[in-house]
Amino acid sequence: MNAIVAEGLVKIYGKGKAQVRAVDGVDLAVAQGTVLGLLGPNGAGKTTTVRMLATLLRPDSGRASVGGHDVVRDAQAVRSIIGLSGQYAAVDENLTGRENLVLFARLYRLGAADARRRADTLLEQFGLTDAADRVVKTYSGGMRRRLDLASALIGTPRILFMDEPTTGLDPRSRLGMWDVIRGLVKEGTTLLLTTQYLEEADELADRIAVVDHGRIIARGTADELKKQVGGERIEVVVDQRDAIDHAVAILRRDADGEPTVDRHTRRITSPVNGGAQRLIQVVRDFDEAGIKIDDIALRRPTLDDVFLALTGHAAVEKPAGEEAA
């Protein structure tokens, strides 16, 4: 059964010539207990899509249902089974962490005692117990984000929307957030997550939908998408032009595909599976063969690569505004 369904969702901002179709006919289906990653650059329409599904925004056309409830006609029923965690941590920075959670729990119809218990559980679960009675203003970005997610989970939602859960976080906090998200998914929560990072979608999502200019331009599993783009590759720039042929021979052996050569810049690129371990092998073999290299790098496909491959244009940021909030 599909927990989230969207058919032909459209949201238009502005009037007349300034009109922007922020979301332009998005279809989605997320099976119960699975994770869909909505991948796209700033301004692609990810946030707007999530806001429509989470009942914050009325679609201009199309329909959507969450947990079997229509997001427009049955909005209140949708609200009682979803959790929403935004990219701008929507918690009250002048309240303490505990006060925030208790307030949201009470608004979720929990009694005073139950609300306090629920808040304590979540504070514990998200490692915020020590900071529980501090005003949120004093929290770090990672703590704030965790509190925001805890707030989204206050009603033990079956379906969770996370809008760029790790944007702006340092790498360590990001890994921590990933762990938390994986834990939730293991418990059977259906998750729709938006991200600008292919790596993140890859780590967390069962299926990925790539969004550009309000439309879904590709969908599939991470592997399927990467295959379209080409996976990781090794890029080598050799010091001498006459070393190129020898280098190509080594790469043919060590890497996993036919190398492409740019003789002018002395750059050889070769697809590779197995990442850093292979890179070390290549460096070793080059060294043994006495080939001097100017530069060597392992390149993973980025969102830019996916975009380039899918659309023929780079993932350009639209002016901020429609994606804000």
The residues that touch other proteins, with contacts defined as CB under 8 A, are 51, 54-58, 76, 79-80, 82-84, 86, 88-95, 99, 103-104, 106-109, 135, 151, 155, 324-325
Task: Give me the least distance between CB of 106 and other proteins, in Å please.
Answer: 5
DSSP tag of 272: -
Q: Which is nearer to other proteins, 91 or 236 (CB)?
A: 91
| 189-203: b (≥16 Cβ within 10 Å) or e | bbbbbbbbbbebbbb
Q: Which is nearer to other proteins, 79 or 233 (CB)?
A: 79
214: left (phi over 0), alpha (psi -120 to 50) or beta: left
Q: Which is nearer to other proteins, 138 or 240 (CB)?
A: 138
E strands present in the chain: 2-13, 20-31, 35-39, 61-66, 69-70, 82-85, 159-163, 190-195, 207-212, 215-220, 233-238, 260-262, 267-271, 293-299
Residue among 2, 51, 1 nearest 22 (CA):
51
DSSP tag of 316: P
DSSP tag of 164: S
Task: Give me the least distance between CB of 296 and other proteins, in Å please.
Answer: 44
Task: Give me the least distance between CB of 148 and other proteins, in Å please.
Answer: 8
At a CB cut-off of 8 Å and minimum separation 6, what does 280 contact?
none
CA angle in degrees (0–180, nearest 5) for 152-98-110:
60
Q: Which is nearer to other proteins, 184 or 234 (CB)?
A: 184
Q: Which is nearer to other proteins, 140 or 240 (CB)?
A: 140
CA atoms within 13 A on the CB side of 90: 12
- At residue 18, what are phi and psi to the nearest 5 degrees? -80, 5
Name residue, tokens 């599909």: 2
Q: Which is nearer to other proteins, 86 or 259 (CB)?
A: 86
Q: Which is nearer to other proteins, 89 or 250 (CB)?
A: 89
Q: Which is nearer to other proteins, 54 or 180 (CB)?
A: 54
Distance CA 78, CA 162 (A): 16
